[in-house]
Amino acid sequence: MKKSFLVMALALAGVGSLTGCNPQDKVAPEVSVPQAVNQVQDFAAFSNRFIGALWQVAPTWALYSGVHDYDGLLQIPNEQTMAQTLAFVTAQQKALSQFDTGKLSAGELIDYRLIENLLASMAWEQQTFKSWQWDPSGYNVAGGFAQLINEEYAPLDSRLKSLVSRLENVPAYYAAARANIVNPTLEHTELALQQNQGAFSVLNDELVAKVAASGLSDADKALFQTRYQAAVDAIKEHNSWLEQLIASLKQDGAKDFRIGEALYEQKFAYDIQSGMTANELYQKALADKDRVQAEMAKLTAQIWDKYFSEPMPSEPKIAIRQMIDKLSANHVKRDDFVAEVRAQIPALVEFVNQHRLLTLDPNKPLVVRETPEYMRGYAGASVSAPGPYDKGGNTYYNVTPLDGMSDESAESYLREYNHWILQVLNIHEAIPGHYTQLVYSNESPSLVKSLFGNGAMVEGWAVYTERMMLEQGYGNFEPEMWLMYYKWNLRVIVNTILDYSIQVKGMDRDEAIRLMTEEAFQQQAEAEGKWRRATLSQVQLTSYYAGYREIYDFREQLKQEQGDKFDLKAFHEQFLSYGSAPVKYIKSLMKEGK
């Protein structure tokens, strides 16, 4: 599926990922607690001041959110930068603590908790989790440059001037990165090399030609040439260093990518904010796996004679697997994969509009594109959305083409994303999933709820819409569609089981592949890709199931309470109006009618 932008943005905010951009002569604001409190007339004013100060320590997040005050500034990830970030966190935590939470409105209290969680997670990431030491993939300058080149929020010459400025610190940035990296994992080091090699899809001859043809002054063009060459050389040097590091890690051994139970529970609490522990969610997922498998067995029995002349096997999982294998042969050609995704979007829009599921804004562009090279290697499909300050910007649906796969791997991948599941994927990623939710999030009157989005809510909404669309008749209640949906939903459930089992219980690769292929009926290529993803992330794979379970259960509760008065469209639009806040907070607001 994907790593959502909002999840990435949170990582960018903590200097643990160290991909922010900031001038070296601009530091985090020196805010004493008394001064901060005296200047805050109410919580809304504090929130605005907090956000403005945050952009100075997380300016790449600002760039992605549509704030362009720091576009040309590349922060060097050194000790000074980390000290500034911790000073910011400490000052803001003290200022936040001055508020009497009992006197805040329901909406303000949620904003308070979101800011509180963000600050605590930033400090935890830097001081306890320390991925800035063991995850070399956190160091990559390509994204910021791509944003300047591709997003037309300002005239090209203006954006190119920022780009020229931003290039200045690239050599120092990578030098600091190498100084920070200590005892890295092999998996994250290999990803770092792959993605940094992709940086040359951004810093390339096309960019050089664009600058040459621009209206920049001769002096700026000359400065660009100097800084561009230095940046290219710095990335090449860093990639050579990564290659040597990989060879050394393979020979001498590397840090285990598993983070263990204590860190996992802590990260789960910060990232998911669900009100339950990771272990409790894991136990729920085990029970749901059995329930979904039972539903799949019923559907398989219903359509067996349509596809097979021989008797159905008595073992349900064997029968389910045979039926899925039979149906999975119905898929698009590999060369048409991206084009087919693009072609399906209008049909989803039409269905949502005809069935009055929620209001879609036709003026918010959705662009289906091939995943940029510097983003590849993590997930096959993802969404890159504009922030609340740049509401009119493009939302990109990134789809990775299959041209880099062997014929065998491509066929396995296409069988996984077959005729039915590809439609479910597009519901999830685009309409009315991620794309739609993020458009609504940008319209939230609370910037805090839009900016500091909760990954479980974001992913949970996308998973919720898959079932909701089928319940409303998408696919004409075809049993094949429902069987494949359950297969897809089972993957969401197994994501939680898989991630917890790998990171906490030490599950190895063979056990993980067996869980995905035999219990979740996934294709080999999909299972191998998910194993890779589970070695590169922690907790994020649980966000899908955690958010989905909360949203769906809440809707069913309201339906029971309201009876004939329940309005699905109204529920969706009210739910989405609170930005990307954790589901538990949205539930409290909706129950109170706020």
pLDDT (0 to 100) of residue 377: 66
> For the chain, what percent of residues have pLDDT higher than 70?
92
Ramachandran class of 444: left when φ > 0, alpha when ψ lies in -120 to 50, beta otherwise: beta
pLDDT tens per residue across span 136-180: 999 999 999 999 998 888 999 999 999 999 999 999 999 999 999
pLDDT (0 to 100) of residue 378: 58
Least confident of 3-12, 153-162, 223-232, 427-436: 3-12
pLDDT surpassing 70 at residue 16: no
pLDDT surpassing 90 at residue 20: no
Q: Provide the domain limits for residue 228.
A: 136-255
Same domain for 166 and 90? no
Same domain for 122 and 143? no
How many domains is the chain built from? 3
Same domain for 56 and 187? no
Most confident of 24-33, 128-137, 363-372: 128-137
Contact by Cβ (8 Å): 298, 461: no
pLDDT tens per residue across span 570-585: 999 999 999 899 999 9
- Residue 219: inside a domain: yes
pLDDT tens per residue across span 509-540: 999 999 999 999 988 888 998 999 999 999 99
Same domain for 219 and 317? no
- Residue 394: inside a domain: yes
CA 162, 164, 166, 169: dihedral to nearest 10 degrees? Answer: -160
Same domain for 332 and 364? yes
Domain boundary among 89, 114, 129: 129
- Residue 339: inside a domain: yes
Same domain for 515 and 481? yes
Which residues neighbour 546 within 8 Å (Cβ) at sequence distance 6 or greater? Answer: 272, 274, 281, 456, 460, 496
Same domain for 201 and 296? no
Higher pLDDT, 583 or 592: 583
Same domain for 117 and 142? no
- Residue 263: inside a domain: no
* φ, ψ at 396 (rounded to 5°): -100, 130
Mean pLDDT of all residues in 331-347: 94
pLDDT (0 to 100) of residue 371: 87
Same domain for 411 and 526? yes
- Residue 265: inside a domain: no
Higher pLDDT, 404 or 457: 457
What does the alpha-carbon distance between residue 361 and residue 42 come to, in Å, rounded to a whole number? 33
pLDDT (0 to 100) of residue 531: 96
Q: How confident is the model at residue 33 (pLDDT cuts 50, 70, 90)?
A: very low
Domain boundary among 220, 255, 290: 255
Q: Based on C-alpha coordinates, what's the Rg of the chain?
A: 24
Q: Specify the pairing of strand 395-399 against strand 366-370.
A: parallel
Measured CA to CA in angstroms, residue 482 lies from 52, 324, 332 at distances of 47, 12, 19
- Residue 272: inside a domain: no
pLDDT (0 to 100) of residue 594: 62
Displacement of CA 543 from its chain's centroid (Å): 10
Same domain for 4 and 110? yes
* DSSP tag of 104: S
Same domain for 149 and 90? no
Same domain for 289 and 166? no
pLDDT tens per residue across span 42-77: 899 999 999 999 999 988 889 988 899 999 999 999
Q: Give the full edge-to-edge strand order of the sheet including 366-370.
A: 366-370, 395-399, 381-384
Q: Which of 20, 6, 241, 286 is nearest to 132 (CA)?
A: 20
Considering Cα of 371, then 372, then 373, then 376, what sign does the dihedral take? Answer: negative
- Residue 269: inside a domain: no
Average pLDDT over all residues of the chain: 90
pTM of the model: 0.83
- Residue 166: inside a domain: yes
